[in-house]
Structures are given as C-alpha cells and as structure tokens.
Amino acid sequence: MTGFEAVVLTIVTAATPLLIAALGELVTERSGVLNLGVEGMMIVGAVTGFAGAQLTGSPYLGVIAAMAGGMALSSLFGFLVLRLAANQVASGLALTLLGLGLSGMIGEAFIGQPGLKLERIDIPFLTDLPVVGTILFGQDPLVYASVTLAVCVSRFLFRTRAGLALRAVGNNHASAHMLGVHVIRTRFLAVLFGGACSGLAGGYLSLAYTPQWVEGMTAGRGWIALALVVFASWMPLRAAVGAYLFGGALILQFHAQAEGIPLPSQFLSALPYIATVAALVILSRDRWTARNDSPSCLGQVFVPDR
C-alpha cells in the first residue's frame, strides 16, 4: 500500500461515520424534528455494536445491534417530543447526556477487550489494481453502504411520494395534517431512521474505525454531523461533500503536523472546521434557496387539534 492510498483510506474512514450520522439527522430535520441527541445515540450505537459483536462473534450482527441501540434511544426521544410534546432542544441535549452515561455503564465490561473488525472487502484482481484498486474496491462494506445511503436518501426525499410527504410535514405541519398526512407517524419514523443512522455511525467507530470500546470514543462527531446538516442546507449530497471535505481536512492536517509544517498546531487543528464551514457556506451561498430548503417547522411542536 502506498502512502497516497493510506491517506485516502483514512480520509474515507474518517468521513464515513460523519456522513451516516448526518444523513440520519438530515431526514429527521427534514420532517421538522430537531434531535440534538446525535452524539448520545452515536455513543450508544458504538457500545451496543461492540457488545453485539463480542457476544455473537459476528461484526455484522454487531452492526445490527448498533442500529438497534441508536433506534432504542431515538424512540425514547420520539416519545418525549412527539407524544408528550416536550421541548426538542432540551430533550435532545438530555438524550446526549443520557447516551454518554448509559454507554459508559454498558461498556464497562468491554473496556480493554480486543474487538472484532469489519473486514475490508477484497475482490481478486479489482482490489489489486494499482492506485485506485484499494480505494475503490477495498473498503469495508459500510463505506459503500454510506455512499449508497446518501444517493438513496436524496432520491427518497426528492423523487418519491413518501419523501414529498416527509418534506411537507417539515415545511408546514398544520397543512400536512389538513391534507391527511400523518404528521406524528411520519416524524416518528424519521426520528427512528435518524436513530438507526446515528447508531450505525457509532457502530462504525467501534467496529471498523478503531475496533475497541473506549468511553466517549465518539469525541464530538455527533455535533459535527449536526452542523454538517445545517451547512449542507438539508441536501443529502451536499452533506456527503461536507463529510468528505471535513474528513479530508482532518487527516491532511494530521499529516501536516507530522511533517512539521511551520504553522501553529492550534490553527491546523481548527483547519478542518474552518475549511468545512467555508466550503459549505460557498455551496449554499444563495440564501434564497438556502431559506427555501430549510424546514420551516424545524423544532416546532405539533399537537393535532382534535
């Protein structure tokens, strides 16, 4: 493996969990629900995924356990904000705190255990191609899944009736209700999808990125995913661009620091954030479209009047 390939591979693995979590949150927010608990759902997904893989011996079952963990936490959130009409910001923050605590408790037994790793796929001949071989055909399955997911979410939102209904609910829940769209049900499903994605993103960390369980191993990635959604102006493919850009800047600045580039290390550490914000701001600089795309009912409680 050449140095170039290694850099690209690390960029991809850094970007993948951000992309998966951002896509989940994007769908949730498109339905009008702001779930600030991404970080909490991610860390719970990381620990349930790791635990699932350890207990069953299969990293694939671990992936499913990660999604289930994220969904379980998100269903609690959904119950609070959709059934009980609780404040979404407070509930989401509470969810993050809960997730961090809960994951520490569940994960206590697994600290220091060597984990099972999702193997990179290996297609004879194709993977062996020079330069592009490993990059295109030698990633772990979740990398392909995440890119496919970005395309699918985009198609779903803008090319299907269910996606249209979901955007409608996020755009004007009162009217959607009037038209007979099930606002609460749609939102609950969107919240669950967001939970599954966050859980999966967490599971990616503990099953593919660094196969082990460390408390607090999400290290703020959930927050970055949240920010990506906004800067991508709720467009799935832009979120993918943002995730890869962030991953790229993150890895490159590591290398830059290792090379001893004469810039303050603090600046280099801040670079991924600055670069991502700058790029996404340029992407969505047309504020007319940006405003149109933002779900107008984001964060608003809906109580049907009957």
Partner 1 sequence: MPGGNVLLEARGIVKSFGGLAANDRIDLTVHAGEIHALLGENGAGKSTLVKILYGSLQPDAGSVSWEGRPAAVGNPAEARALGIGMVFQHFSLFEGLTVAENIALALPPDEAGSGLAANVRSVSESYGLPLDPAARVASLPVGVRQRIEIVRCLLQRPRLLIMDEPTSVLTPQEAERLFETLRRLAGEGCAVLYISHRLEEVRQLCHSATVLRHGRVVGRPDPKTASMADLARLMVGADVEGAGSREGEPAAAGPVRLAVRGLSLEADTPFGVSLEDISLEVRGGEIVGVAGVAGNGQDELFAALSGETPAFDDDAVEIDGRACGRMGPRWRRRLGAAFIPEERLGHAAVPAMRLSENAVLTRHGTDPELATGGLLHLSQARGLARRIVERFDVRAPEGDPEAGALSGGNLQKFVVGRELDRRPGVLAVSQPTWGVDIGAATEIRRELAALARDGAAVLAISQDLDEILEISDRIAVISRGRLSPAVPTGDTSREAIGLLMGGAGD
CB of 294 to partner 1, least distance (A): 8
Token digits for 235? 């467009």
CB of 299 to partner 1, least distance (A): 15
Q: Where are the alpha helices (DSSP H) in the chain?
A: 3-30, 38-56, 59-78, 88-107, 132-137, 141-159, 161-171, 173-178, 183-204, 221-231, 236-259, 265-283, 287-293
167 vs 221 by CB, closer to partner 1: 167
Return d(Cα 46, Cα 23) in angstroms, integer.
Answer: 17
CB of 305 to partner 1, least distance (A): 7
32 vs 49 by CB, closer to partner 1: 32
21 vs 229 by CB, closer to partner 1: 229
CB of 179 to partner 1, least distance (A): 5
148 vs 289 by CB, closer to partner 1: 289
Q: Tell me, what DSSP letter sits at residue 35?
A: -
CB of 160 to partner 1, least distance (A): 10
186 vs 198 by CB, closer to partner 1: 186
Q: Tell me, what DSSP letter sits at residue 260?
A: T
3-state secondary structure of 19: helix
Q: Are 104 and 209 in contact (CB under 8 A)?
A: no
Return d(Cα 11, Cα 7) in angstroms, integer.
Answer: 6
Q: Tell me, what DSSP letter sits at residue 84?
A: S
Residue type, 253: Q
257 vs 296 by CB, closer to partner 1: 296
CB of 24 to partner 1, least distance (A): 21
Q: Which residues bind partner 1 (CB under 8 A)?
A: 161, 164-165, 167-168, 171-172, 174-181, 287-288, 291-296, 305-306
Q: Tell me, what DSSP letter sits at residue 261?
A: -
Residue 137 Cα to chain centre, angstroms: 23
